[in-house]
Amino acid sequence: MSDVPESHPRYQSLKLRDDITAGVESGITSIHGLIAHGRGEAFDYLIGEATQQFAAQAIHTSAAMLLLAEYPVVSVNGNAAALVPDELIALGKLLKAPLEVNLFHTSKGREETIQEYLLNRGAVQVLIPSSDIRLSFIDSNRKYVHTDGIFRADVVFVPLEDGDRCEALRKMGKDVISVDLNPMSRTASRSSATIVDNVVRALPLLIREIRELADASPLTLQRIVSKYSNEKVLETALQWIRRA
Ligand code: PTJ
């Protein structure tokens, strides 16, 4: 990382800023992604820059949901690609699920750059949306999807984003698992399960949890999912933030 020593108390946070700015420089991340990252930083600070119990609970349920899914798909935007490319690739491999690039800020060039970047790092399948397949209930660029990806999915894993698509996917009957540091966002409140944590901490934990639950019976997995209340988890996250 530029010139910040590892001993610096804010090293981890500064490293993530470097990853995001490098993403912008290499054409992976939108310039707006810097603002989104700053908002995330503020919430991360409030939750204590650590995975809290409410996030661990959502991760446990998300792992069960993903293992129960018939056709899971991992959605990728410009921030996630810059921060957790290898973890997204590992998740796709583990679930035998395609990755699909889905961007808010329209850019054919960026879609292709992200696709190539992930394939070069070892991804098995990276889809980009086609211009003739659309999601219902949404007007932004996120409406364009791939027939063998988000369009067909029963469960969509969504690292940080804006809330419109999450709402649309739910209306279309799909389950959405999101990672969002802001428990008040529309994405957070509309998701089937919301992991209120930084993607850089949540992804490795989710992968570990999926490995641990891989041999569990469908009944055990269903029990985990049915006991979960996203509303309660978000309420707990908010209470935790208010303690500060
Ligand atoms: O690459 P694109 O064009 O698809 O654009 C991606 C961004 C993220 C720029 C776009 O979706 C956007 O503008 O998102 P928002 O509306 O700013 O929402 C981003 C959400 O992610 C906010 O609630 C942030 O708190 C949260 N967030 C930011 N960084 C992280 C995060 N959540 C988890 N981990 C992070 N590292």
pLDDT tens by residue, 31-76: 999 999 999 999 999 999 999 999 999 999 999 999 999 999 999 9
pLDDT at 36: 96
Element (H, E) at 157: strand 155-159
Residue pair 195/59 in contact by the 8 Å Cβ criterion: yes
pTM of the model: 0.96
Compute the mean pLDDT over every residue in the chain, rounded to the nearest whole number: 94
Residue 1: is its pLDDT beyond 70? Answer: no
pLDDT at 244: 67
Query: Which of 90-94, 139-143, 233-237 is predicted least confidently?
Result: 139-143
CA distance linking residue 182 with residue 201, whole number of Å:
15
Our answer on whether the CB atom of 81 is closer than 6 Å to any ligand 1 atom is no
What's the 78 CA to ligand 1 centre distance in angstroms?
Answer: 9
Our answer on whether the CB atom of 43 is closer than 6 Å to any ligand 1 atom is yes
What's the 230 CA to ligand 1 centre distance in angstroms?
Answer: 20
Our answer on whether the CB atom of 182 is closer than 6 Å to any ligand 1 atom is yes
pLDDT at 2: 66
Between 144 and 92, residue with greater pLDDT = 92
Which residue puts its alpha carbon closest to atom 4 of ligand 1?
Answer: 103
Which residue puts its alpha carbon closest to atom 31 of ligand 1?
Answer: 40
pLDDT at 189: 94
Our answer on whether the CB atom of 178 is closer than 6 Å to any ligand 1 atom is no
Sheet-wide strand order for 193-195: 126-127, 99-101, 72-76, 155-159, 175-179, 193-195
Phi/psi for 64 (5° steps) reads -65, -45
Residue 51 CA, distance from chain mean position = 15
Our answer on whether the CB atom of 153 is closer than 6 Å to any ligand 1 atom is no
Tens-place pLDDT, residues 134-183: 888 888 888 888 999 999 999 999 998 877 889 899 999 999 999 999 99
Q: Which two tokens stand for residue 244?
A: 């500060």
pLDDT at 106: 85
Q: Which one of 19, 28, 34, 39 would you pick to mutate in the ligand 1 pocket, going by the greatest count of ligand atoms within 8 A of its CB?
A: 39
Which residue puts its alpha carbon closest to atom 28 of ligand 1?
Answer: 40
